[in-house]
Structure 1
């Protein structure tokens, strides 16, 4: 059965929570969005969309973000 194009509300809420966790880790690290995006070799607007919960990140991107922030991935997705 094909998946609909819209994610369920609980998935959207969880994506926003993930963004909040990423933002909190970034703030604790004292980094700007620009600095994290640069470390991940991505454009700042794309990073911002992940942090705001407006875009889904691939597993690879989450690994890069966690590494750039110096935290285990599990800390971001808990």
Structure 2
């Protein structure tokens, strides 16, 4: 049985997280491809997270934060 879609407030937070990741990435002059390489992830996964289309696993958020040299708290504040 499929689960119910997330509520609007969850989707809004997901988009805000993606926006912060994109801003941090841009501030460092990194492409999605380069961030994906540094985080040992797939570029499409980075894109989906930045667009808010995919819920990010906490392990992937740790990888992204490490690759951007920021705290996880900074990304999710």
What TM-score comes out, normalization by structure 1 length? Answer: 0.91
- Show the counterpart of 1:55: 54
Q: Which residue in the other structure is 2:16 paired with?
A: 17
Written as runs of structure 1 = structure 2, the 5 A alignment for 1:1-78 is: 4-78=3-77
Q: How well do the aligned residues superpose, as a CA RMSD in angstroms?
A: 1.3
Structure 2, gaps ≥5 residues long: none
* Separation in structure 2 between the aligned mates of residue 43 and residue 59 of structure 1, nearest angstrom: 15
Cα distance between partner residues in 2 of 1:58 and 1:35: 20
Distance 1:75 1:9 in 2: 22
- Using the TM superposition, give the Cα deviation of residue 40 of structure 1 relative to its aligned residue in structure 2, in angstroms: 1.5
Question: Which consecutive unaligned segments of at least 5 residues does structure 1 have?
Answer: none
Deviations 1:7-59 (A, max 9, x none): 00000010000000000000111111000111111111111000111001111
- Write the distance in 2 (CA, Å) between the matches of 1:9 and 1:63: 25
Query: Which ranges of 4 or more aligned residues in structure 1 deviate by more than 4 Å?
Result: none
- How many residues align? The count is 76
